[in-house]
Amino acid sequence: MFLGVVMTEALFRPFRVRGLELANRIVMAPMTRSQAPDGVPGEANAAYYARRAEGGVGLIITEGTTIDRPGAWNHPAYPHIHGEAAVAGWHKVVDAVHAAGGRIALQLWHVGGFANPRMPECNVENLESPLGIDGNGEPLGTAMDDAAIEATLAAYVRGATNAKQIGFDAVEIHAAHGYLLDQFLWATTNKRTDKWGGGLAERSAFPAEVVRRVRHAIGNEMPILFRWSQWKQQDYDAELVTSPRELRTMLAPIVEAGADIIHCSQRRYWEPVFPSSDLNLAGWVKQRLDIATIAVGAVGLDIDLQATLSGTQPGLRSIQPLLERLKADEFDLVALGRTLIANPAWANLVREGRYEALQPFNTGMLANLD
């Protein structure tokens, strides 16, 4: 049996944070699908998420959903969390997931100064970033002034408020992979000399302020997740922090602002982050900040996303090492992406020991919203 004999009890323990109760530790990772024409999710989107809820996923995190800023998107089929039609569409998604017994978090997103290589004509004039430069230091878009920053903070609040009114169970703030909030965290793209730039703690000020205002707007019952990464689409080898001390310095303001769970995006979850330990990124964050964390990165597969998008088809990988880490409380939750596209019922199949039914992901699966 390709997955071997595994003891999955740790994966199916319940989990609670604030007013959110999850049946297990399995999370559907946010995955951009570009399947919401004019920013409006439809019946197909609702069916897509409901299938994963029916399949036993404890918490679904939506694809990146853009806030109400002109530069927040760089593709016309990214879903929005503003406008009457988009809000109504998300109502259908949430209702479908809840009807299937699932829980769902909305991911709030602003692409920042990131030009979409697939659509170079799309919205480039509106791109905004900390200093109007890309990951190579080249001019791109507009540097955000105080008015733009304040308007962006207000847009995050409106998005979170809409999510609460719709009935989402949590919100996740996207601050990873080279997009806007990550650009503020990253020294390469944030060379500001005002209160939004400087050292590690200062560079975290704007993401922390987003968390603080969202917390104030949605109250104390609704959890806030915060997703971050070392790697960037602009630079896979980038590092925001190089030591556990720096890790705490950067993330402490975000935790203090009101984040409940830190979602730690790695390309391969099993890789250690610092040479002093075998802990992965989620493990280090939990140890240093005493906060719940989500581990993610090629869970159940043998190659990372970037290798897949380059044309290499992944195979299945044993989850035994993952389960051992979870049982040891290295982290609290486990997010799966491609694996759940290939296997919407992955959670139920694993719980039932039906490993022979699991299928590896292939890139052709991205063509359908199913």
pLDDT given for residue 274 in this prediction: 95
Quick check: 115 and 124 in contact, CB under 8 A? Answer: yes
Confidence of residue 137 (pLDDT cuts 50, 70, 90): confident
Answer for the pair 7, 321: CB distance below 8 angstroms, yes or no. no
pLDDT of 153-174, one tens digit each? Answer: 999 999 999 999 999 999 999 9
Which residue type sits at 342? A
Where is pLDDT greater, at 308 or 41? Answer: 41
Closest by Cα among 73, 57, 84 to 116: 73
Contacts of 354 (CB under 8 A, 6+ apart): none
Catalytic residue among 48, 49, 78, 179: 179
For the cut 90, the answer to whether the pLDDT of residue 135 exceeds it is: no
pLDDT band at 124 (very low <50, low <70, confident <90, very high): low
CA 366 centroid distance within chain? 18
What DSSP element (H or E) covers 17?
strand 15-17
pLDDT of residue 315: 77
Catalytic site includes residue 179: yes
Torsions phi, psi for 266 (to 5 deg) = -120, 155
Give 111's pLDDT tier (boundaries 50, 70, 90).
very high
pTM: 0.95
Confidence (pLDDT) at 300: 82
- Residue ranges of alpha helices (H) inside the chain are 43-54, 84-99, 146-166, 180-185, 200-203, 205-218, 244-257, 281-289, 305-309, 320-327, 338-342, 346-351
Q: How confident is the model at residue 316 (pLDDT cuts 50, 70, 90)?
A: confident
The answer on pLDDT for 244 being more than 90 is: yes
pLDDT of 182 reads: 97
Average pLDDT of span 273-294: 96
